[in-house]
Every structure is written in structure tokens, then in C-alpha cells.
Amino acid sequence: MIISKNWNHTIGEVISSEIKFKEFSSNNSTSFKFVNEKLYKYQVDGTQYQSGQNLASDSLYSKEFKTMDSFPLKYGDYRININFIELEKEIKKTIGQKITVYYNPYKPEISCLSIGINYEIFLPIFMGLFFGTSLIYVLWDFMISPIIYF
């Protein structure tokens, strides 16, 4: 992920685009995140490749996004959601568009459109560290330290 900042780049072309969604639920409320998943082609040293990866870290969480035909009907018509409408407009402009593709110079089949890190992937790590540290503190304070001091 961080290494992708050193990747080479070339010009590619968007060949298709699809809107996908992810469901978030909390406190009896549900919201959705819509993303424009692009499929693009690019060429390196005479060999043509295809990819759908936007960020180098996409492979870590891209499976969480589902196709629109699996959108839960109980939440109504997703086509009236403002974010979905904006993405639909974007898709029409994107297909055929020339784009910069960053690729791994040692494995050119691995590529992405944006270099760097998607910081969303660190949230579970930081939450785990926070709750783990809190648990250790509570255990130490209430269970182990009274034994040491008596």
C-alpha cells in the first residue's frame, strides 16, 4: 500500500463502470455507501492488462461492496438516493475516459488508480488496540493490583 507511491504509471482507459453499495447499520438506522467501481485497461511493455482496483488497498475490503441487484427491497428504491444519482451521472462521463494507471513495476498485472493508503482499513486496528488496552487496564486495576499490594 505505502509501496504503491513508488509505482510506475501509464495511461489507461475506462472500459466499464458499475455502481456497488455497502450497508451500514447502527441504532435501528441503516445507511448506504455507493461507489463507482471502474474496470480499466492499460498497457505495459506491449502487454495489455485489465483491472478494477482503485486503491492499492482495495483488495482488503472490496468484497464488502455488493452489486445493485442484491440491494435489499425493504429499503425502497435506491435510484432516488442523491449519491446514487450523482454516481450514475459520473458513469456516463467515465466510460472511454483516459486515466492514469499506477502499476507495480515487478508485477505489472497489479495496478490501481490512486496511490497511497485508504485509511478506513486502520479503523478496526486502532479500535482493537484501544479496547485491548482498556481491558488490560481494567483487569490490572481491579484484579491483579489488589493481589500485589496485599
pLDDT of residue 63: 64
Query: CA nearest 40: which of 14, 10, 9, 11?
Result: 14
The DSSP result for 82-95, as a single string, is: HHHHHHHHHHHHHT
pLDDT of residue 1: 42
- Is residue 84 classed exposed, middle or buried when 0-12, 13-18 and 19+ CB atoms within 10 A define those classes? middle
pLDDT tens-digit readout, 128-149: 888 888 888 777 677 765 666 5
pTM higher than the cut 0.75: no
pLDDT tens-digit readout, 106-133: 999 989 888 765 555 566 677 788 888 8
Is residue 75's pLDDT more than 50?
yes
